[in-house]
Structure 1
Amino acid sequence: MPLDMWWFTGAACVALTAAAVLLRAGTPGADTTGAPAPQSVALLRGGRRAAVTVALVALQQRGVVTSGRRGTVRIDGWATAVRDPLQLAVHTSLRRPVGIQVLLTVPRVRRALDGLSDQLAAQGLLRPRRRRHAARALLVAVPVTVAAGLVVAPDSPAPTAAAAVPVAGAVALWFVPRQTPAARHLLASLREAHPPPERPLRGSASVPRVQMSVALHGDRALVLHLPHFARDGGLLMPGPGRTLVRGRFRERGAPGA
């Protein structure tokens, strides 16, 4: 292989190594002292939408939000006793009935989610946001560098054999989850302590248990504990068995679907 192609392949390998170091360096020792909040658990399990869903469930249980028309959520009271940053951001963003997808784009909600994500990264449960972004930028540079080398040295004998190695490594690292092994262990232990619900939980004492159940089990717990709010508020994720009808998800084959 000509020297020019070796230089490009070497540069791609350097970028790949730097990305791997960034991803590995972003996993400090996990600090799991104390029970994690349901919104944190939801963010670990299902990402930003799951965290906002649990925040809406907490606000609904306080009686300050309710479902609106066509898959939206609206204010139903003053959140004077709410201190959680994400819940406050969600509540103040409901000046008019909006859906959860719109809430995810509101700047104050995004900032609250970023703050929650940074807290989990500091605890060693998520890879830090900035390090992950930098690592992904380096991973994008790997195939770009290899492609540039192929353009500069198109007559290299069988260049794809050596060039494919850093590209394959970049693809593998791209799909490394943001969760750390400590986060996966924590979620497994929480699922063991909070198995999938079999019956609705009622009463004021069950409020934190409902939130944790939704955080861990998603739509299954939502439909069981808060069926009307989940369906009318548009909180359920679209799936192969549901279709969107007038802003609400209905089971296929159901009347009006």
Structure 2
Amino acid sequence: MGTGTWWFVAAVCAAWAEVLAAAVLLRGRGGSGGPGATGAVPGPEALALLRGGRRAAVTVALVALHQRGAVAAGRKHTVRANGGPGRTRDPVQLGVHRSLRNALAVPALALRPEARRAVDGLRAELGRAGLVRPPGRRRAARLLLAAAPATLAAGLLTGVGGPDGPGTALALAAGVPVLLAVLALLRLPPATRAARRLLAELRERHPLPEHRREVTDGRLVQLYVALYGDPALALFLPRFSRDGGLLGHRASDGR
């Protein structure tokens, strides 16, 4: 092999090193504290955060507040405060309620500082429990994954098909697996495998009922909304969900 080919091989090895370092950063870690650390099931907002991200957690908090009469549907698919938050110490519910100085649509509400801080605190607890990949590690992994294609491109500058560089077949055979690995890691959800297993187990233990009259416990309603999202909202809180704009959104990336 010529010098150009050796440089390309070295670039491929460096790109793989970046991919493997990113994989280590994204690897789920067992935690020593927080929800789930001692076998306890996380609360509804936490489960919603694992399933659908920030907006899902805020939606469950709104359901709990609505059950106490603390919020109601506003005009044009917004939610408004309807009195005090009631006797709750739940930080996400309190943060969401404090954010409702004016009627807001759910996406805007989820981005208000008070709501964001409360959800971020919950996310930190889930990270310590090994159920969410810590944001700092995710950011570092994304930087490494962005660097891997650039490293490959630098190796290819030696000249694909040139007399001293890697041929097209070698470039494809060595470069394509790296790029596929980068794409696979970028698609990993924030929730870890342990979190996805927990959600699957809870859905198996708590299948969505066919009729809302089968459930009279408000806490169970929150659990169903956390686990199933829109189908549970439409079943248990059809008017509030429709008029308040809680329905019709996809699960987020967890940010």
TM-score by length of 1: 0.85
- Listed one character per residue, the Cα deviations across residues 189-241 of structure 1 (whole Å, up to 9, x for unaligned) are 211221112222489x61101101111111111111111100000000248xx
**Does the 8 Å CA contact 2:70/2:85 hold for their aligned counterparts?**
yes
Map 1:1-257; keep pairs closer than 5 Å: 2-24=5-27, 26-28=28-30, 31=37, 33-154=39-160, 155=162, 156=165, 157-158=167-168, 159-201=171-213, 206-238=217-249
**Does the 8 Å CA contact 1:32/1:123 hold for their aligned counterparts?**
no
Alignment identity in percent? 49
**Alpha-carbon separation, structure 2, partners of 1:188 and 1:3:** 48
Residue 201 to residue 136, structure 1, CA distance change in 2 (3 Å): farther
Residue 176 to residue 82, structure 1, CA distance change in 2 (3 Å): same
Q: Unpaired segments of 5 or more residues in structure 2?
A: 251-255
**Alpha-carbon separation, structure 1, partners of 2:249 and 2:84:** 31
TM-score by length of 2: 0.86
Number of positions where the alignment pairs a residue of Structure 1 with one of Structure 2: 237
Say which is worse superposed, 26-35 or 184-193, in terms of deviation: 26-35
SS at match of 1:66: strand
Residue 182 to residue 110, structure 1, CA distance change in 2 (3 Å): same
**Alpha-carbon separation, structure 1, partners of 2:213 and 2:197:** 26
| Paired residue type of 1:197 | P
- Listed one character per residue, the Cα deviations across residues 7-28 of structure 1 (whole Å, up to 9, x for unaligned) are 322221111111111122x422
| Paired residue type of 2:85 | A
